[in-house]
Amino acid sequence: MIGLLLHLLKFLPVPIDPRSQWKKVAALKQKERADRLIEILNDPNELSSNLNAFELTILSTPAHEIVSRIGARDLNWNAKNVMKAFIKAAIHAHVETNCLTEILFKEALERAEQLDKEFEATGRLRGRLHGIPVSLKDQVNVKGFDSTIGFTKFVNQPAAENAPVVDRLIEEGAIPFTKTNVPQSLFAFECSNPIFGYTHNPHKHGFTCGGSSGGEAALLASDGSCMGIGSDIGGSLRIPAHYSGCYSLKPCSGRIVQDGLRDCDDGYTEILGVIGPMARCWEDLVLLSKVMLHKPDPMTSRKFGLIPIEDFRYEIFNPLVAEDTRPSLKFGFFTSNDLIEASNPCQRAVKETVEALRLAGYNCVGIDASRLDVLEGVIIYVGLSSAEGYRTGFSHVGSDPIDASMFLTTIGCKLPGWLRWIVCGVTRYFLRDEIMAKLIEASRAKSTTELQKWRVRKDAYCLKVRSYLWEELELDALICPTQSVPAIPIGSSWNKSFLAESTLIWNLVDSTVGHIPITRVNVQKDQHRTDTDATTGGLRQPGEVSQVKNLLPSVEESEGLPVGIQIVCGLWEEEKTLALMGIIVKSWESVPNQTAPLTRPGDFIAQKKRVHVTNCN
């Protein structure tokens, strides 16, 4: 019954202004994107239609090696040739996944040529990212280009200046060359909006790449970018990395300048979003993190209120990666929390990682995941994120259609009080689904007095989780599933928002979290299960809405999709998190008859053997 109710509510009429121009605006924006792609393809002096062998080599080379080869003046290794290779690969990725929004190819080639001339004249590289193509999540401002974040309201509103993170990248020699797709409002883990449409998973068409940094993950996983910048307020760096297969780091709030991003909820401070790096391998994630985690100048610190941390803290990072830390490090882990039982592939990713660490001599202990009280964390997150009823976010919609992925997240706020009371009663007493009833109750606008009580509740929860993990258990890091399932089919997240529970609690607690791609869904390994469906898992309590296993694809349909893990550390422990990620990667590499974690630069494009650039739009 509740499933039917939710299905019908999904199709409640949305007021549409008959004078709406959203389709026309979206079409013009798409044409602008297509024209910029065609312009670069039609210039025979810049790009041929094929990726040649040398360009495939470039795509298979990590960023730090690219910089070294440019600096060594290796034959044909220069910024412009590197940029050409990644532009071609990005167009490949876009044709297959629809991952690009703003096209900066022409400007990027000009910038690459300037860097080559500068290096030829001075013999000095601009910085640690000299000549490296970097892609940016659509919300990151680049001077002269839109940051629409999926709303037609923001079309033809080019940024007046770069975001500080963009200037920082340019200062180190990087070249921003494209921006990537996001879900409408940035508050969903699919990747679709009325302007640019759906972005597909590069490994399986028809499945989502994740969100909200979804276009970024799809591009990186397709070898279409060397490294990228995303953001995260509930899992937006980690879920796309998990679905698409790449690396990411969610830093703590305040460690990186957050200014210069287009947001739809300006003024919201209850849970802070963060900018974070994304990459195709651990080494590149570390390199990009070293650039981003830098000491801001005094005026920037005073202006943006950053915490007083120095540059990248090598005194923390170096000993962990260079010395034998096996006697001193302690990893905790769990394969499922107390709210949702993870699917077989997601549990296997954790188990195999723990086995690799133990084989390498590291101490790994299982923890009592019920002590994390994930349901309480999710309720608090929902209660705080809905505190003003999503009015600010929806104020940007105008006559744009609201993306279906926003349905379950916002339904509580949309319901009149009397109807919410009825729905909660039916859900709790007739369907005996206490979990969904509590989430619907929490999702509503609140008074200032109520909000203050929710803040107290949040503080108590954060203290409880931190005390358990870091004080009582004395862990250095926690290894756990990134999500309970692999990527889901496009258009299917409208009634599955609760799947983000495994990532959003760490935003609530403000932990540093890394993501590593570990494995892929494998029918032979993942199909045998005695308690529930092999791929989907299910919630711990009964109830029609709560039966995840009835809402998701089978293991056969998910075959080959990436699966990753989270590495959770404490507050402001970015350097430590990166180092421990490296220990996990190296432990995997030492396992007999095993491959290193999921991906290395060039793996995707070599496997797909896509060497023609055609049919872009």
Query: Residues 246-284: pLDDT tens digits?
Result: 999 999 998 898 899 999 888 889 999 999 999 999 999
| pLDDT single digits (tens) 541-562 | 544 444 555 557 888 999 999 9
Question: Residue range 233-244: average pLDDT?
Answer: 98
- At 612 the pLDDT is 47
| Percentage of the chain exceeding pLDDT 70 | 88
Structure tokens at 67: 């910089």
Q: How confident is the model at residue 505 (pLDDT cuts 50, 70, 90)?
A: very high
The closest alpha carbon to 194, from 205, 177, 182, belongs to: 182
- At 547 the pLDDT is 52
- At 472 the pLDDT is 99
d(Cα 321, Cα 582) in Å, to the nearest integer?
7
Residue 269 to residues 265, 387, 497, 508, 581, Cα–Cα distance (Å): 9, 11, 21, 11, 29
Query: How many other C-beta atoms lie within 10 A of the C-beta of residue 145?
Result: 22
d(Cα 279, Cα 225) in Å, to the nearest integer?
9
Of 41-55, 173-187, 497-511, where does mean pLDDT reach its minimum? 41-55
Where b means 16+ CB within 10 Å and e means fewer, 428-455 reads beebebbbbbbbbbbbbebeeeeeeebe
Residues forming the annotated binding site? 186, 212, 233-236
pTM over 0.75: yes
Q: Is the pLDDT of residue 614 over 90?
A: no
d(Cα 165, Cα 158) in Å, to the nearest integer?
17
| Percentage of the chain exceeding pLDDT 90 | 73
Token pair 């009149």 in the structure block, residue: 416
Q: How confident is the model at residue 27 (pLDDT cuts 50, 70, 90)?
A: very high
Structure tokens at 101: 């929004």
- At 304 the pLDDT is 66
Residue 29 to residues 16, 90, 260, 324, 537, Cα–Cα distance (Å): 21, 19, 22, 54, 41
Q: How confident is the model at residue 44 (pLDDT cuts 50, 70, 90)?
A: confident
Question: Residue range 527-542: average pLDDT?
Answer: 50
d(Cα 206, Cα 491) in Å, to the nearest integer?
9
Q: How confident is the model at residue 2 (pLDDT cuts 50, 70, 90)?
A: very low
143 has which bridge partners? Answer: 159
- At 96 the pLDDT is 97
Q: How confident is the model at residue 608 (pLDDT cuts 50, 70, 90)?
A: confident
Peptide bond into 212 cis (omega under 30): yes
Residues forming the annotated binding site for substrate? 186, 212, 233-236
| pLDDT single digits (tens) 443-471 | 999 999 999 999 999 999 999 999 999 99
Amino acid at 310: E
Question: Residue range 284-303: average pLDDT?
Answer: 85
Taking a C-beta distance cutoff of 8 angstroms, is the pair 133, 177 a contact? Answer: yes
Q: Is the pLDDT of residue 617 over 60?
A: no
Contacts of 37 (CB under 8 A, 6+ apart): 91, 94, 100, 103, 105, 616, 617
- Name the range with the highest mean pLDDT among 7-11, 417-421, 566-570: 566-570
Question: Residue range 236-247: average pLDDT?
Answer: 98
Of 19-33, 217-231, 232-246, 462-476, where does mean pLDDT reach its minimum? 19-33
Q: What is the DSSP letter of 519?
A: E
Residue ranges of the domains in the chain?
A: 35-294+330-608
d(Cα 502, Cα 239) in Å, to the nearest integer?
10
- At 331 the pLDDT is 99
d(Cα 104, Cα 106) in Å, to the nearest integer?
6
- At 275 the pLDDT is 97
Average pLDDT along the chain:
89
Q: Which ranges in 293-399 belong to alpha helices (H)?
A: 298-304, 314-322, 344-359, 374-385, 391-394
Query: How many other C-beta atoms lie within 10 A of the C-beta of residue 18?
Result: 5
Q: What is the DSSP letter of 549?
A: G
Amino acid at 123: G
Structure tokens at 105: 């190819």
Report the largest interatomic distance among the alpha carbons of the chain, rounded to a whole angstrom: 77
Helix (H) or strand (E) holding 439: helix 434-442
Q: Is the pLDDT of residue 45 over 90?
A: no
Q: How confident is the model at residue 309 (pLDDT cuts 50, 70, 90)?
A: low
d(Cα 435, Cα 337) in Å, to the nearest integer?
14
Question: Residue range 424-428: average pLDDT?
Answer: 92
| pLDDT single digits (tens) 149-178 | 999 999 999 999 999 999 999 999 999 999
The closest alpha carbon to 616, from 89, 185, 211, 180, belongs to: 89
DSSP string, 120-177: HHH---SSTTTT-EEEEETTB--BTS---TT-GGGTT--BSS--HHHHHHHHTT-EEE
Amino acid at 324: D
Amino acid at 13: P
| pLDDT single digits (tens) 350-383 | 999 999 999 999 999 999 999 999 999 999 999 9
Where b means 16+ CB within 10 Å and e means fewer, 488-510 reads bbbebbbbbbbbbbbbbbbbbbb
- At 307 the pLDDT is 61
Q: Is the pLDDT of residue 527 over 70?
A: yes
Query: Cα–chain-centroid distance for residue 73?
Result: 35
- At 407 the pLDDT is 79
Query: How many other C-beta atoms lie within 10 A of the C-beta of residue 363?
Result: 15
- At 532 the pLDDT is 39
Q: Kindly tell me the sign of the dihedral angle through the C-alpha atoms of 132, 60, 486, 330.
A: negative
Question: Residue range 402-430: average pLDDT?
Answer: 87
Q: Is the pLDDT of residue 591 over 90?
A: no
Q: Which ranges in 233-309 belong to alpha helices (H)?
A: 238-244, 282-292, 298-304
Q: How confident is the model at residue 393 (pLDDT cuts 50, 70, 90)?
A: confident
d(Cα 387, Cα 271) in Å, to the nearest integer?
11
| pLDDT single digits (tens) 174-209 | 999 999 999 999 999 999 999 999 999 999 999 999
Q: Give the E-state strand segments of 120-273 in sequence order.
A: 133-137, 175-180, 200-201, 204-208, 227-232, 247-250
Rounded to a whole number of angstroms, the distance between the first and last alpha carbons of the chain is 43
Q: How confident is the model at residue 387 (pLDDT cuts 50, 70, 90)?
A: very high
The closest alpha carbon to 2, from 401, 317, 408, 355, belongs to: 408
- At 50 the pLDDT is 83
Integer-rounded Cα radius of gyration of the chain: 23
Taking a C-beta distance cutoff of 8 angstroms, is the pair 280, 597 a contact? Answer: no
The closest alpha carbon to 202, from 185, 189, 213, 214, belongs to: 214
Give the catalytic positions in this structure: 137, 212, 236
d(Cα 40, Cα 297) in Å, to the nearest integer?
38
CATH of 35-294+330-608 given 3.90.1300.10, 1.20.1630.10, 3.20.20.110, 3.30.390.50:
3.90.1300.10
